[in-house]
Every structure is written in structure tokens, then in C-alpha cells.
Structure 1
Amino acid sequence: MAKAAFIGLGVMGYHMAAHLKNRGGHEVTVYNRTAAKADAWVAEHGGAGADTPAGAAADADFVFACVGNDDDLRAVTTGADGAFAAMKKGAIFIDNTTASAAVARELDDTAKAAGFGFIDAPVSGGEAGAVNGALTVMCGGDPGVFDRAKPVIESYAKMVGLMGPAGSGQLTKMVNQICIAGLVQGLSEGIHFAKRAGLDVEAVIDVISKGAAGSWQMENRHKTMDAGEYDHGFAVDWMRKDLEIVLSEADRNGAGLPVTALVDQFYKDVQNMGGRRWDTSSLLARLERIAGDR
């Protein structure tokens, strides 16, 4: 059993912290910007709450964070009452936020100078993966630090991999989002086409999902897409935040991402339709709006 802290109890972090305590058996202290959320977590799972990130991190062996963006991450690490000022020598900070590779490298340098480890460890699998403790975790950092952190991360994961030095986890998550963006647009167009052609969507998916067209998105989202139900899952706002990071990194490294850039604009259209909190599969709603189907 290790002493752990978890900073950020949002849609993902709330469940990830619970798995650290209940499945991993670790002693967990939590912090959340809205204190009522931390109070609710402690009431449900036990452990302890802290008033600041520094308070949560003090004396912890492993400190986890899952917050919104680069600025939020800096605030809870190196900002006023941030975790970094309280972390002990030899501890490890594991950042599950989807953020930029640049901030990962920045925080890794700061951590090394202070004598503790840092792993950038963004996750994939959505809220369902967090609830079920079945996330995929893409890590960047030093191998020795990763080897110590991996067994603890596995409390909420089905796959944990080291992708390279600091920032590599974030870069891998960018690849993940690039692939998902194009895939969901293709699935949306396929379902839209099937409907316009008068086909039974369920029958079509039952057949093609067993072949080369099959995907997690197809298996898990086709029913709700066909029904026009999008009030669940990974929000469009979050995907646009992630794609902004992707496109910024592509500008830096020279990668050509024409489909990703186009799908990002399609998600902007969905936001303008009122779908900011809809699931990313709502790209179909955009096509149906254009065609006048709904």
C-alpha cells in the first residue's frame, strides 16, 4: 500500500481515485477545486480530503492529477499552494490530464530539479473506462520512474505503456485523437448514407462490424447515433480542446493533418448547433441537420 493523492475529481478523476483506493488498496487523499466534490468522494470512499493541492501532496508517494488544460495543470503543480512545493524527494507525480507535450517537458524539468519524478500519462477510454477501471494510459518519462509508477497506475487501467521520454505520452494521446476524429466522421457518414439509402442500420452494422470496418466506436456508438441520442460520453468541447493541442503541435512539427483540421471545424458546427456537451459521435447530427433529416 502506498500513500497517494489525487488532484481533480471530474468525470474521470472521481472514478480513477476510487480505483486507487478500492482496487489498489492505497491510502488516498483527494483535492478538488470545488470542495463539495472532494467531500462527496470522501463520504463515498473514505480516505481524506485536503484544502489545497499542496495539502494533498504532502507526504504522498504518488500524486495524480486529472484537470482541464495546461493552465489548470500549472495552477495545481507550480502555482500558489501547488503540489510541487510539498512533494517529498523520491515521490512521483503522474499527470493524467490531456495537455501539451511542452507543459509535460516543462514540469518534468521542474520535478527533476526538485528531486522527484514526473510521468505524463494521458488516458483513453472515456467515462466508461474510468468507471470500470479499464483505461488505456500512454506514458512519457524516465524508465525507472515509470517502472515504479506502473503498478499503481494499473489500479484504474487495462493497458499502461511507456512511449518514450517526457512528453511522449501526450504526443501518443494526440495520435489517438487524430485517429478517433477521422474514424467518427467516417462512421457518421456511413450511417447517414445507410439511412438515406433505406437500409436497416442495425443490420448493416451487424455485418460490417465483423470485418475491416469494425471499431470500438462502431460497436459502442452506432445504436445511440441511429437514435439521435448524444447526451453521454466524451463531450465535443473536450474533443475540440484536444484537437487544438493536436493542430498546434502539428504546426510545430510540420505534420500535415488535413482531415483532422476539417473534422475540428465540423465539431465547431456541432457546438454552434448547441451540442457543446454532446458526445463526439454527434458528427452525425451535423450531417442530418444539413440534409434536413432531423
Structure 2
Amino acid sequence: MVCIAFIGLGVMGYPMAGHLAKAGFDVRVWNRTTAKAEQWANEYPGKACKTVSEAVEGADLVMTCVGADKDLLEVFEGHDGIIANAPQGAILIDHTTASSGVAERLAAAAALRNQAFIDAPVSGGQQGAENGKLTVMCGGSEAAFTKAKPVMDHYGRAVNLMGPVGSGQKTKMVNQIAIAGLVQGLSEALHFAEQAGLDARKVVDVISKGAAQSWQMENRSGTMIDGEFEHGFAVDWMRKDLGICLDEARRNGSRLPVAALVDQFYGDVQQMGGNRWDTSSLIQRLRRK
């Protein structure tokens, strides 16, 4: 039986690890908050571990889904970290949205222990994780990806190798850059409809059949019109992601004027107290009097 360690049981990692356990894999989990790991083990067949080193000992694959670069370095490096304690030949798969630089750093360290590393950020949000329909963007070797893909297929509907290590993170950056512009455009469009005295729902019903259609329009326009944002992908997380995008753009010479502006707009939403609101809450700053 394939043994899998899953490190990080947030809103994404918790159901992702659950899909693996339900698929029959031998799953061990670790979370910074021990109670969360114990809760998971009561809900799914698997073992809650008290340390990272305990979770990864003897594991064939190690999955991580934590917060940011600093969290990755904490769980991967050091005497008690993943690299030092996972066996040689293990495949380390990171689902965190992080920088391509940290992916390259961890891959180099893992290679010294004869471990393969795949950076594999995901898109699809909490709903996609719970339904096992995530998009997974991978960077790594063809050999490691071929072995790992059948496992990731249990929570991903589209699992693709984009290139060498770092390519997964860079693809996720492209995703977030595109979303930032789409959400701001949709926010302005709905705000304009409201100000013009139109029935915004009727407008969406019409224009969603044409070139303006998007995932954001189909899945977020209704809650945007109602002013409901206690769901989805938090503004704090989006700002973290856009910060990664803007840093990478400075390195590779890209110009991202819209993404930089929308990042500032999300800062306005944070000042309104919307740190944990869904990213579609950009419309609220336009509604301010």
C-alpha cells in the first residue's frame, strides 16, 4: 500500500487528504494545530501524527499545503523537517501557493537526499477541494510527475505538468493575475448596472450568454449583487498571491499595471474590514459613499 504523509490541514488540505484516505491509501497527517489533525483522523481512515518527522517517516509521497514561503521552510528544512526525515526516493509534492524561488530551493535540497520535488499549486478553491475537482499546476521532472499524477487525480480534475520545478508556481501566478483583472472588471460592470438603474440579475443572464461570460460571472455575480462575501477565497490570501506575482514580475521584467492596481484595491477592502471576505468583494469599495 502506498504510504502518504499530508502536512497542513487548512480549508484545502483537509478535504484533499480526505480524498486520499477514502481512496484507500495509508495516510498520515500533521497540522500545526494538533486538534485539527485529530479531528481529521476521527473523520477519515488515517493517523494523526504529533510531529512532521513522525508523519513522513517511511512515506512514499509527502504532500504539503501550508500558508506561505516561511511556512514551507519551517516544515521542509531543519533536523525535524520533511527533507531530513522522509526516505530517499520519496516524492515531495507541495500544493502551497508560494514563490518559484522557494520551490527551486527546496527541490535542490531534496535532490541531495535523492528525493524528487514537485511544486503543484492548485486552483478551484475550497469547493473544488471538497468536490475533488481542483486544477493542479505542476513543476518537476517527467518521471516524478508520472508516478505522482494518479495520486493527485483523486482530488484534481486537471493535473498537468507545466515544466521544470518552479513552473507550477509561475502558472498559478498567471492564474491569479488573470483573476484579478476579471474580478475588478465584473465589479465595475455590476456597479455600473446598479447605478444605471438596471436589474443586475437580468443583465448577467443576458451577457453571460456572450463574450463577457466567465467563471467569476457564473459563480460570483449573484453573491456580489446580494453583498454576500463570507465564503470563497479570502482577500488576505489574494493579496499574498498578488505580492508573489508582483515580486516575480520585477525579476522577469513583466509589466503588471492592472494587477498592481487591483492589489491596492484589495488593500482598500482590508481597511474596510474585509480581510476574510471573498475576492469578489472588490465591488464593495465601489459602493462606498
Could you state the TM-score of these two structures normalised by the residue count of structure 2?
0.99
Instruction: Supply the distance in 1 between the matched residues of 2:9 and 2:79 (Cα, whole angstroms).
Output: 19
Alignment partners' CA distance in 2, 1:214 and 1:46: 41
Q: Who is 2:5 aligned against?
A: 5
Deviations 1:147-193 (A, max 9, x none): 10100011111000000000000000000000000000000000000
Amino acid at match of 1:102: G
Counterpart Cα distance in 1 of 2:2 and 2:213: 40
Structure 2 distance, partners of 1:32, 1:144, is 29
> Which segments of 5 or more consecutive residues in structure 2 lack a partner in the other structure?
none
Does residue 1:32 correspond to 2:38, yes or no?
no
Q: Distance in 2 between matches of 1:54 and 1:182?
A: 41
Match of 1:194 in 2: 193
Aligned counterpart, 2:20? 20
Matched residue, 1:110: 109
Shift of 1:46: 2.2
Instruction: Show the counterpart of 2:251.
Output: 252
Q: Distance in 2 between matches of 1:210 and 1:76?
A: 46
Q: 2: CA distance between counterparts of 1:54 and 1:183?
A: 42
What one-letter code is carried by the residue in structure 1 that aligns with 2:231? H
Shift of 1:84: 1.1
SS at match of 1:5: strand
Aligned positions of 1:39-78 closer than 5 A: 39-78=38-77
SS of structure 1 residue aligned to 2:154: helix
Aligned twin of 1:120: 119
Q: Secondary structure at the match of 1:155?
A: coil
Q: Deviations over 1:49-79 (max 9, x none)?
A: 1111111111111100000000100100113
Partner in structure 2 of residue 167 of structure 1: 166
Give the SS at the match of 1:6: strand
- TM-score normalised by the chain length of structure 1: 0.97
1:98 counterpart residue number: 97
Rounded to whole Å, the distance in 2 between the matches of 1:119 and 1:83 is 14
Q: Contact between 1:236 and 1:277, CA under 8 Å: does it hold in 2?
A: yes
**Native 8 Å contact 1:54 1:84 kept in 2:** no
CA distance in 1, matches of 2:78, 2:127: 31
> Is the CA contact 1:57–1:83 (under 8 Å) kept in the aligned structure 2?
yes
SS in 2 for 1:186: helix
Quote the residue 1:287 is aligned against.
286
CA deviations over 1:75-102 (Å, ceiling 9, x no partner):
0011341111111121100000000000
Give secondary structure in 2 for the equivalent of 1:285.
helix
- Paired residues for 1:210-249 under 5 Å: 210-249=209-248
- The 2-side partners of 1:230 and 1:93 are apart by 35
Any stretches of 5+ residues in structure 1 without a counterpart?
none
Q: Distance in 2 between matches of 1:154 and 1:202?
A: 36
Paired with 2:210 and 2:146, the residues of 1 have a C-alpha distance of 37
Task: Please identify runs of 4+ aligned residues in structure 1 that moved more than 4 A.
Answer: none
C-alpha distance in 1 between matches for 2:34 and 2:79: 17
Shift of 1:209: 0.8
Please, what is the CA RMSD of the aligned residues?
A: 0.7
Q: Percent identity?
A: 62
Q: For 1:16, give the aligned amino acid.
A: M
* 3-state SS of paired residue (2:136): strand
SS in 1 for 2:203: helix
Q: Deviations over 1:103-148 (max 9, x none)?
A: 0001111111111111000000000001101000000001111110
SS of structure 2 residue aligned to 1:4? strand
